[in-house]
Amino acid sequence: MSWLGAFSQLLAMLMALLLAPLLTGWVNQWRARLQNKSAPGLLQPYRMLHKLFNKESVMADRASPLYRTAPYIIFSCMLLACAIIPTLSTDLPLSPAADAIALVGLFALARVFISLAAMDVGTAFGSLGARREMLVGFLAEPALLMVLFCASMITRSTSLTAIVENLAHREFAIYPSLLLAGVAFTMVSLAENARVPVDNPDTHLELTMIHEAMILEYSARHLALLEWAASLKLFAYSCAGLALFFPWGVAEAHSPLALLLALPVLLFKLAIGGFLLALIETLSAKMRVFRVPEFLGTAFLLAVLGLLVNVLLGVG
């Protein structure tokens, strides 16, 4: 582990913490513009987090210690996920500690804890949200794993940094398996980040909520941590998608100049990605909760198809 490696690791984590609310703000801006509205400022999520941290925290009297610690656990899981995905550089000393399968495991850990916390207070909508979140998770998690396996089979490794390095150095070609995996990944990240067409993040109707229903009882700093964790999750998914499908521009080991260039490249890629997400959200309608398993099942099958195409064609 070199000094540059440690520095790039810390820089990646810091950038994730700082840029995640900015990405959310960017997506919200474009959602407003596409609805012909004038948007809140780009820094609005930061103001919201600052306000929430300042508020007094109220908690149900029968909430257990699990309920109190769950936001911290979920926040750390998302931060660790952002730490192992090569966003700025592939020289990440923490990367050997967790590979692609462990990344999926991290998301699963966060999902289990938020579901348990939602069931903790014993309200009707908390357990409804927990059940729906586990339903989305049980189909989305294998689909995500299969997408990562598509990339793993091409690059013969499950380590995210090795995947990015390998894919970035190949000559530009359209791999059919990665194409199928890309469509599947988009569907999975829409579902997991609670976006239209799976779940509307702005809804007030509890019977249609999936993600929001689980956090209805949280307030102040716990809510701020959960909102930040949701932004980090969107950031992690976006960066994972960029790392798998558009890996160019990520710095490698022993190149501090490339590290400097990697930041504007990342911002550029995220800007385009955020705009496309806002576009998809504006042009789609939210689907019924009963249709969500079909949607995710399609994503799962597409990813498995990508794997089979990889095996059949012998090349990516």
Partner 1 sequence: MLRILGKIQRIGIITEPVPARDEPALSEVGAQLKARIGERFGGSLAIREVDAGSCNGCELEIQMLGNPYYSIERFGVHFVASPRFADLLLVTGPVSRHMQAALLGTYAAMPEPRLVIAVGHCGADGGEFGTSYASCGAVANVIPVDAVIRGCPPTPLALMRGILEAIGQR
Partner 2 sequence: MTPFLHPTTWVHLDWVLVVVVAWLLIGVLGVAALRRFRFVAVVLFPMGAFFSVLLLAVSLSAVFSAPETAVLPLGLPQLPFHLRLDSLSAFFLVLIGGVSAGVSTFAAGYFRQGEGTPPGLICLEYHVFLASIALVVMADDAYLFMVVWETMALSSFFLVVANHRIPEIRQAGYVYMLVAHIGALGILLCFGLLQANTGDYTFANMRQQHLTPFWGSVAFVLAVFGFGAKAGILPLHAWLPEAHPAAPSPFSALMSGVMLKIALYGILRVSFDLLQEHIWWWGVLLMGLGLVTALFGVVFSTVQVEMKRLLAYSSIENIGLICTGFGLSLLFLAYDMKALSALALTAAMYHMLAHAFFKSLLFCSTGAVMHATGERSLGKLGGLMRYMPWVAWPTLIGVLACAGLPPFGGFIAEWLLLQSFLFTTGVPSSFLDMLVPVMAALIALIAALSGYTMVKYFGVIFLGQPREENLAHAHDAGPWERLGMVWLVLGCVILGLMPSQVIALIDPTTNLLAGAGLAHTLADSGWLLVPVSIERASYAPAIFLLGVLASMGLAFLLVRKLYHGRLRRVPPWDCGFPWQTVRMQDTAEGFGQPIRQIFEPFFRMKRQLPGAFDAQPSYKVTVEDPLWYALYLPVARLVERVSRIVGLLQQGRIAVYLMYSFVTLIVVLLVVKR
Instruction: Name the site residues for partner 1 (rule: CB under 8 A).
Output: 32-41, 44, 47-48, 50-51, 54-58, 202-204, 206, 209, 212, 216-220, 223, 282-283
Say which entry of partner 1, partner 2, none residue 298 contacts (CB below 5 to 8 A, set by partner kind).
Answer: none
- 11-70 residues near partner 2, rule: CB under 8 A: 53-54, 56-64, 66, 69
Q: With binding defined as CB under 8 A, does residue 109 bind partner 2?
A: yes
Q: With binding defined as CB under 8 A, does residue 206 bind partner 2?
A: yes
Stated length of the chain: 316
Burial class (CB in 10 A: 0-12, 13-18, 19+), 260: exposed
Q: With binding defined as CB under 8 A, does residue 223 bind partner 2?
A: no
Minimum Å gap between C-beta 247 and partner 2 is: 16
Nearer to partner 2, 14 or 272 (CB): 14
In degrees, to the nearest 5, what angle opens at C-alpha 110 toward C-alphas 106 and 114? 170
Say which entry of partner 2, partner 1, none residue 138 contacts (CB below 5 to 8 A, set by partner kind).
Answer: partner 2
Closest CA to 211 of 197, 228, 230: 230
Closest CA to 220 of 13, 78, 33, 48: 48
Nearer to partner 2, 27 or 128 (CB): 128
Q: With binding defined as CB under 8 A, does residue 92 bind partner 2?
A: no
DSSP 191-208: HHTT-TTT--TT---GGG
Q: List CB contacts of 1: < 8 A, sequence separation 6 or more.
A: 93
Unique residue bearing structure tokens 């091409």: 154
Q: List CB contacts of 93: < 8 A, sequence separation 6 or more.
A: 1, 5, 6, 9
Q: With binding defined as CB under 8 A, does residue 300 bind partner 2?
A: yes
Among 146, 243, 250, 278, binds partner 2 (CB under 8 A): 146
- 111-130 residues near partner 2, rule: CB under 8 A: 111-112, 115-116, 119-128, 130
Q: Which two tokens stand for residue 192?
A: 């997991």
Say which entry of partner 1, partner 2, none residue 38 contacts (CB below 5 to 8 A, set by partner kind).
Answer: partner 1
Minimum Å gap between C-beta 193 and partner 2 is: 18
| CB 280 within 8 Å of CB 187 | no
Among 91, 141, 199, 227, binds partner 2 (CB under 8 A): 141
Q: With binding defined as CB under 8 A, does residue 208 bind partner 2?
A: no
H-assigned helices in 156-255? 160-169, 176-192, 220-245
β partners of residue 89: 251
Say which entry of partner 2, partner 1, none residue 36 contacts (CB below 5 to 8 A, set by partner kind).
Answer: partner 1
